[in-house]
Structure 1
Amino acid sequence: MRILFLTCVLALLCAAPAFGAADVCVECHAKTTPKIVSDWKNSAHSGVGTDCATCHGSEHTTAEDSHEAALATPETCRQCHPQRVEEFSNGKHALGWKSYKAMPTTHWQPMTLRTGLQGCSGCHKIGLKSEEELQELREAGSTYGAGSCDSCHTRHLFSKKEAQSPQACRTCHMGMDHPQWEMYSSSKHGVRYKLVQEGSLPEDAAAPTCQTCHMEGGDHAVMTGWGFLGVRLPMPDDEEWAEDRATVLKGLGVLDPQGNPTDRLEVVKQAKVARLTEEAFRKEREEMVKVCSQCHQESYARAELRRGDDMIRIADDLLAESIRVVAGLYEDGILKKPDSYKYAYPDLLTFHDAPTEIETRLWLMFLKHRMRTFQGAFHINPDYALWYGWSEMVRDNNYIEQRAEELRRRARVDKLLEQ
C-alpha cells in the first residue's frame, strides 16, 4: 500500500508544472494582459490546475522571448478532450480552412483579408491546419484562430456555457451568404429561446438553439444534409430538376459543359460542402428527423424537411435559367468569357471577382438569394424564404434576361454599323 501511495505521489509530481510557474505568468500578465488572467481565473481550467504552461509550454519566461510561447492547436486540447476533438475533426467546421483556400479567387484578395480578421479567413480559421499552414500564419503575424476550438470557446475562459449559446454561432453564421443567425433569431425557435433567456418562459420550455439541432448531445461533428452549396448526388428522378441541378453543377465548375466530372469535384468531396451519395444524405436527414421529433410528430418533421427540399428545387429552376442565359452570351460571343474560367460556363465561385454587371448579379443570385431561399425554409423562417430569397431570385432572373437582351441588341447594332 505504501509503495502504491508513493507511486501515485511521484506521478502527480511529474505531471505537475514546476512550482510557482503559473504564479510567475500571472504576476506579469496581470499587468500586461489583465483580462486574459481574469478569464483564466474564472475558467474550469484554473479550477483543475490547467495553467499557462499546459497549453503554451514553459519556454516563454520574459517579455523578450514571448515568441517562444507554444501555439495552442486542437492537438493541445486533445490531451484532455480527445472525444470532442475527434468529433470536431470529422465535422464540417474542421474543413473551414480547406474550403476557404479551395475557392478559385481566394489568392486574389488583399493579404489583410486573407490572414487577419477582416475577411473570410476570420471565420474560416476554425478549420484544422497542417503544420506548414500554421507556420504560414506565424510568419504572417496573425495566429488568431489557429486553435480552432477557441472560435466557439473563446480563450482564455473557454466557457462551455458560452459555446452552448446560439450567440456563439452568430459571430460567423450571419451576413450575406449564410444569415443563419438572422433567420434563426427571428423564427419561432429563436424567439422562444430569447424568451427563455430573459426569463419570460420556463427554462425547460421547448426552445431549440443552433446546438440543439446541429450538435445533439454535444456532438462536435457538425454536418448538414444538403451541405453548404445546396446540391447533392445522385440526381433526382424528376427530369426537369435533374437538368437544372446539372446546370447548377456546371456553374459551380463541378461538371464540364458536357456533364462530365471535373477536378473541382474532388475539391468539393474533400471540403464536404455537398452530399455526394444517397447514404450520406440519408444519414444526416434521419439524424435531423430524430432531433425534430423531440418537439414535433415525426410525420410533421419529415413533411417540413421535404418542403425545404422543394424550395431548393424551385430555386434551382430560377438559377439554372439565369446560368444558361449567361452561358449563351459566352457561346455567341456577346460577352467575353474571362480567361480564368476553365469552362464555357459562368463560374459561380468567383464571387465578387465576377468581371461584369450581369455576371455579378448572377453570383449574388446564387450566393445571397438562393441561400436565403432554402436556408430560410430549413430554419422555419417563411419571410426569409419568400421575400429575401425566392422573390429576390425572381427579380435577379428578370434583370439577367433583360440585360442579356440589351447586350444582344447592342451587338446586332454594332454588327450593322461595321458593315
Structure 2
Amino acid sequence: MARRIDIWKKGLVPAVLAAGVLLFNSGALAQAPPLSEATEGCLMCHEEATPGIVADWRNSLHAKTSFTMAAAASKKSRKVSSQPPEGGLAEVAVGCAECHTLNPETHKDTFDHEGFQVHIVVSPKDCAVCHARQTDEYSRNKMGNAHRILVDNPLYMTMVNAINGPPVIKDGKPVTTAADELTNAESCLACHGTEVKVNGTQVRETDFGDLEFPVLEGWPSQGVGRINPDMSEGACTACHPRHGFDMATARKPYTCSQCHKGPDAPAYSIYSVSKHGNIQASQDKDWDYTQKPWVAGRDFNAPTCAVCHASGVEDANGNVLAESTHQMNDRLPWRLFGVIYSHPQPKEADTTVIRNKEGQPMATSLDGEWAKDFLIDEAAREERKNAMLGVCAGCHSRQWAEGHWKRMENTLQTSDAMVKAATDVMEEAWNKKYAQADNLFDESIERKWMLQWLFYANSTRKASAMAGADYGVFAGGRWDMSKNLADMAQWLETQKKSQ
C-alpha cells in the first residue's frame, strides 16, 4: 500500500479514480460504469508501468460496460451469455482485476501482488464468467483442442520433428532429431498453442521496487489451443487481441491470416484474390464490423471469414441467415486441409481418438478410406451444408450457391484422386525399400508426397471452396499436383532401372 501512496503523491495517476472519468471519451461519460476498487488499485501502478495496455483497455468495450449493462441488450445483440457474476462484479466495468483475479485457486500462475491474488494468463474459464456459451462452443471446436490434436498425435509429431528438428548427418544422409521446445513454440505451436507451465518464481527489479513474479514456460503464447495454467484449453485472445478484445478485429480476415495464410493453410491468401476478398479490400472502410446481429447488405456486402464461419448474420428484413457460433465447424461438412484426403468433419473436437482401419491416428487410410465411426454421417453433413448455404443466401440465389457447392465437392474427388496416385507411387517405393517407411516424412521422395497433399491438394480444395480460382490451378494448385506426380513417377522409374 505504501508504494501506491508514493505513486499517488508523485501525481502519476491524475484523477483516474473519479468514477473513471478520464477513461472514456466525452460521448461515453454519462454511461460509463464505476470501476471496482481492485481495478482502481491496478491502474495506479499500471498507468505508468504498462501505459500501452491501459490505453488499449480504455478504448475497449469492457472499460465502458458492466455485465448488467451488457445483459440489458436485446437477445439478438447480447454478447454476454452467463448468469450475473457474484460479489458485485455485475455492476462495475470489466477491468484489470475482473479478469486477472478470477478463480485464483485454479490458476497455478496465481501470485501475491500488491495485496491481490493475481494471475498472468487469463483463460477461457475466466472469460466464461460472462461468456459461458461462447466458451463452451469454443471447447467443442478443433481450434480449441489444437495443442493436443498436434502434440498428442505421434504421427503428426513425427512430421513436426522432420520439419523442425535439426538434422544430424550420418553416412552422408540427414537423420531427423527431435525439435526443441523453443523451436516448436515459435513455429507449429505458435498457432496450435503451447502448454504454459509455472516453473518457480523470480524477483525482478521494477520502477516500483523489487517484485516477485511466477516464471512461465511456453510463454508468450496466443495459439488457439493453448494449455493454460488452470488446465483449460484455448486462447480467446488469438482472435480477440488483448486488451481491447475488439469484435471488429476478430471479424476482419487479417486476424485469421495469422494462421491461415499458407501454403499449408492458404485460406487467407485465397480469400484475398477471390471476388469476396476483392470487395472487402475495396469497400472495407464503409463496413460496420461492430453490429450484432450482422446484417448483410447493410453492415457488409461480401463475406469475411467470420461471416461464413462464426458470426450471427441476418438479412435486411430480419431473417436469420446463420446463428452465431464459436464452434467454427457448425457450417462445415468437410475437412479440407491439413489432412492427406478430404473427409467428413470429425464427430468430436478431440481428433486424437480417431483411428483408421490400420489403427493409425488418422481419419483416413492411405488408400483414402474414411474412418467412418469417428466422422459425421451424411445427415449431419447435409445439415451443415444447409447452414453454410444459408449464409450464401444473404447475397446469392440458391442456384448460384448450389452450383458453387457442386464444383467444390467435385474438386474434393479429383484432388483426392491425385493424392491417391501420388500415394500409390509412395507405397511402391516403401514396399520395394527405395524409401524407408519407419518415418513417412524425412526422405526427399516422401517430401514430394507431402507436397501433394499438405500444400497442393490443400490449395486446390480451398480455392474451390472460396472461389479463388488461380490457387486451384497455377498458384500451388492442379498444375503443381500434376507436375509433382510426374516427378514422383519418374523418380520411381529411375529407382527401378538402377536396381
TM-score bucket of the superposed structures, by smaller chain: 0.7 to 0.9
Task: Determine which of 306, 327, 337 is the counterpart of 1:211.
Answer: 306
- 1:90 deviates by 2.1
**One-letter identity of the residue aligned with 2:491:** R
- CA-to-partner distance for each residue in 1:197-238, whole Å, 9 max, x for gaps? 14499865621111111114031110122113352269xxxx
Match of 2:122 in 1: 72
Bigger RCO of structures 1 and 2 (CA < 8 A, at least 6 apart): 1
Greater fraction strand: 2
Structure 1 residues 130-145: aligned runs within 5 Å: 133-135=195-197, 139-145=216-222
Match of 2:427 in 1: 327
Is 1:82 the equivalent of 2:177?
no
**SS of the counterpart of 2:343?**
coil
Contact preservation (8 Å) 1:232, 1:276: no
- 1:84 deviates by 1.3
Structure 2 CA distance for partners of 1:316 and 1:28, relative to 1, 3 Å = same
Q: Number of aligned residue pairs: give it.
A: 349
- CA-to-partner distance for each residue in 1:108-128, whole Å, 9 max, x for gaps? 3321133x3x211111129xx
Contact preservation (8 Å) 1:43, 1:159: yes
Determine the C-alpha separation between the residues in 2 that align with 1:83 and 1:326: 46
Match of 2:62 in 1: 45
Is 1:221 the equivalent of 2:327?
yes
In structure 1, the gaps of 5 or more residues are 1-15, 127-132, 235-252, 341-346, 348-353, 412-419
**SS of the counterpart of 1:364?**
helix
Task: Determine which of 452, 461, 467 is the counterpart of 1:380.
Answer: 467
Determine the C-alpha separation between the residues in 2 that align with 1:182 and 1:355: 27
Match of 2:361 in 1: 264
**One-letter identity of the residue aligned with 1:149:** C
Task: Determine which of 103, 109, 117 is the counterpart of 2:179.
Answer: 109
Match of 2:444 in 1: 357
Structure 1 residues 7-406: aligned runs within 5 Å: 20-47=37-64, 48=66, 49-57=93-101, 62=113, 68-101=118-151, 102=153, 103-105=156-158, 106=160, 108-114=178-184, 116=185, 118-125=186-193, 133-135=195-197, 139-145=216-222, 146=226, 148-199=235-286, 204=299, 206-217=301-312, 218-223=324-329, 224-227=332-335, 228=337, 229=339, 230-232=341-343, 255=356, 260-265=357-362, 275-333=375-433, 335-340=434-439, 347=440, 354-388=441-475, 389-406=477-494
Contact preservation (8 Å) 2:141, 2:328: yes
- CA-to-partner distance for each residue in 1:50-107, whole Å, 9 max, x for gaps? 12122111875648x9995253110100000112112222223212222221223246
**SS of the counterpart of 1:173?**
coil
TM-score normalised by structure 2 residue count: 0.63
Match of 1:13 in 2: none
Greater fraction helix: 1
Greater than 4 Å deviation, 4+ residue runs:
16-19, 58-63, 65-68, 136-139, 199-205, 265-268
Determine the C-alpha separation between the residues in 2 that align with 1:226 and 1:291: 17
Match of 1:243 in 2: none
User: Sequence identity of aligned pairs in percent?
Assistant: 25
Structure 2 CA distance for partners of 1:109 and 1:176, relative to 1, 3 Å = farther
Structure 2 CA distance for partners of 1:395 and 1:336, relative to 1, 3 Å = closer
Determine the C-alpha separation between the residues in 2 that align with 1:124 and 1:67: 29
Structure 2 CA distance for partners of 1:410 and 1:150, relative to 1, 3 Å = same
Determine the C-alpha separation between the residues in 1 that align with 2:496 and 2:47: 68
- 1:27 deviates by 2.5
| Mean CA deviation greater in 53-62 or 275-284 | 53-62
Give the aligned CA root-mean-square deviation in angstroms: 3.3
Structure 2 CA distance for partners of 1:162 and 1:276, relative to 1, 3 Å = same
Determine the C-alpha separation between the residues in 2 that align with 1:140 and 1:19: 31
- 1:279 deviates by 2.7
In structure 2, the gaps of 5 or more residues are 1-32, 67-92, 105-109, 162-177, 200-214, 227-233, 289-296, 313-323, 346-353, 366-371
Determine the C-alpha separation between the residues in 1 that align with 2:123 and 2:187: 21
- 1:377 deviates by 0.6
**SS of the counterpart of 2:436?**
coil
**SS of the counterpart of 1:36?**
helix
Determine the C-alpha separation between the residues in 2 that align with 1:296 and 1:56: 45
Structure 2 CA distance for partners of 1:55 and 1:313, relative to 1, 3 Å = same
Contact preservation (8 Å) 1:196, 1:207: no
Structure 2 CA distance for partners of 1:280 and 1:263, relative to 1, 3 Å = farther
Structure 2 CA distance for partners of 1:401 and 1:254, relative to 1, 3 Å = farther
Structure 2 CA distance for partners of 1:381 and 1:282, relative to 1, 3 Å = same
Determine the C-alpha separation between the residues in 2 that align with 1:279 and 1:338: 37
Structure 2 CA distance for partners of 1:367 and 1:19, relative to 1, 3 Å = closer
**One-letter identity of the residue aligned with 2:142:** K
**One-letter identity of the residue aligned with 1:111:** E
Determine the C-alpha separation between the residues in 2 that align with 1:98 and 1:119: 15
**SS of the counterpart of 1:153?**
coil
Contact preservation (8 Å) 1:17, 1:53: no
Match of 2:10 in 1: none
Structure 2 CA distance for partners of 1:73 and 1:180, relative to 1, 3 Å = same
TM-score normalised by structure 1 residue count: 0.75
